[in-house]
């Protein structure tokens, strides 16, 4: 696009270069620096009142207590459960709604399925707590209530992932298979699911990462003994234990980043 002006050092080109540099610096400052800070502070031996940490040590990782490790395993178990159930439900919803006109029952189901992304997490957590904390269905003593509330929040993203992958070409393929006499189950297993593998992987990764980082709803409903990593980290930050908190959050970040990179080579663009 820049046919002229880039080779000569006119004032306009200099200004443009300066603006570009400023934006690049701003982006780095705002978005890259936070990640660097978590990484740096978790290996700092001491960081207060200085520009850079005093020294390097791994003692914050070595000192992770058993309750920290419990939180980590709770987070991982809940995250895996939410990712798998959410992906299955999202896929089911997308297949059931595929090709339907966006009116009547179809529109209602679509709107309710996407509602989890529009409702504040604290409000949803409170609603789930009110609905399931005493009879007829009491889930308040088990991890099921945490999985339930995170499912409601993660389902819209998984549903969107699957729905975005059900393209018109795929409908043509399905109709071709069906017209050649393949029964519906065979069409699903041999034609549709193989085409959806990238979307399923993206949905698993997204569900897992979102579940690991979820705070508001989990904090409202979690039963004693089922604290997840975000809850422990926020508790430590509010009590002023910054460096142990960043060691734990670095592990959390590394796990969710690894999941995103391993499972989903590339998320579908929304």
Partner 1 sequence: MSSLFVPDSAVRDEGGITDADLCAQFAAHAAHAKRRERKGQWHLLFILLFVLGPLVIYPLARLVMLSVTGTHGFTLHAYTAFFGNTQTRGMIGTTLGILFASASIASLLGVAIASMLFFRPFAGARLLTRFLELFVAFPSFLVAFTLIFLYGSQGSVSIGLQRLFSLDATPLDFLFGIGGVILAEVVFYAPFVVRPTLASYATLDMRLVEAARSLGAGGWMVATKVVLPLAWPGIAAGTILCFLLTLNEFGILLVLGSAHLITLPIAIYSAATVDLDLPTAAAGSVVMLLMSLSLYALYRRVNRRAGVR
Q: According to CB under 8 A, which residues from 75 to 94 bind partner 1?
A: 89, 92-93
* Binding status of residue 210 toward partner 1 by CB under 8 A: yes
188 in contact with partner 1 (CB under 8 A): no
CA angle 242, 244, 245 (to 5 degrees): 60
- The distance between the two most distant Cα atoms of the chain, rounded to a whole number of Å, is 77
Nearer to partner 1, 74 or 249 (CB): 249
Please report how the helices 33-42 and 242-263 are oriented relative to each other, as an axis angle in degrees rounded to 10. 120
> Using the rule CB under 8 A, which residue among 5, 14, 34, 45 binds partner 1?
34
Check binding of 109 to partner 1 (CB under 8 A): yes
Q: Which of residues 165-184 bind partner 1 (CB under 8 A)?
A: 178-179, 181
- The answer to whether residues 158 and 84 touch, using CB atoms and an 8 Å cutoff, is no
What letter would DSSP give residue 222?
A: P
Residues 214-243 binding partner 1 (CB under 8 A) are 214-216, 219-220, 230, 233-234, 237-238, 242
Q: Which of 14, 108, 186, 193 binds partner 1 (CB under 8 A)?
A: 108
Residue from 74, 75, 121, 203 that binds partner 1 (CB under 8 A)?
A: 121
Q: Strand pairing partners for 44?
A: 56
Pick between residue 124 and residue 200 the one whose CB is nearest to partner 1: 124
Considering the complex, what minimum distance in angstroms separates the CB of residue 198 from partner 1?
15
* Span of 58-66, 68-76, 190-198, 204-212 interacting with partner 1 by CB under 8 A: 204-212
Which residue lies nearer to partner 1 by CB, 61 or 268?
A: 268
18, two tokens: 């300066």
SS3 92: helix
DSSP for 1-53, please give it: ---SSSSS--HHHHHHHHHHHHHHHHHIIIIIHHHHHHHHHHTBS--SSSSS-
**Residue 122 near partner 1 by CB under 8 A:** yes
């Amino acid at each position: 696009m820049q046919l002229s002006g880039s080779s000569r050092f006119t004032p306009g080109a200099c200004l443009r270069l300066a603006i570009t540099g400023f934006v690049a610096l701003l982006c780095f400052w705002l978005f890259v620096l936070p990640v660097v800070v978590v990484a740096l502070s978790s290996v700092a031996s001491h960081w207060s009142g200085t520009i850079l940490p005093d020294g390097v040590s791994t003692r914050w990782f070595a000192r992770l207590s058993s309750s920290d490790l419990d939180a980590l395993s709770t987070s991982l178990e809940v995250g895996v459960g939410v990712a798998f159930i959410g992906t299955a439900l999202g896929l089911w919803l997308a297949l059931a709604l595929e090709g339907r006109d966006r009116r009547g029952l179809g529109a209602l189901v679509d709107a309710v399925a996407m509602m989890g992304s529009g409702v504040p997490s604290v409000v949803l957590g409170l609603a789930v707590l009110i609905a399931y904390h005493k009879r007829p269905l009491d889930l308040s003593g088990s991890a099921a209530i945490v999985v339930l509330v995170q499912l409601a929040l993660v389902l819209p993203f998984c549903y969107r992932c699957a729905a975005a992958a059900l393209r018109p070409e795929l409908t043509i393929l399905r109709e071709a298979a069906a017209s050649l006499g393949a029964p519906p189950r065979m069409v699903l297993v041999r034609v549709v699911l193989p085409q959806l593998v990238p979307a399923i992987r993206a949905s698993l990764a997204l569900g897992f990462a979102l579940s690991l980082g979820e705070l508001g709803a989990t904090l409202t409903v979690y039963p004693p003994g089922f604290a997840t990593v975000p809850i422990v980290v926020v508790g430590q930050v509010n009590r002023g234990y910054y460096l142990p908190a960043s060691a734990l959050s670095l592990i959390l970040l590394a796990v969710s980043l690894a999941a995103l990179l391993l499972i989903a080579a590339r998320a579908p663009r929304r």
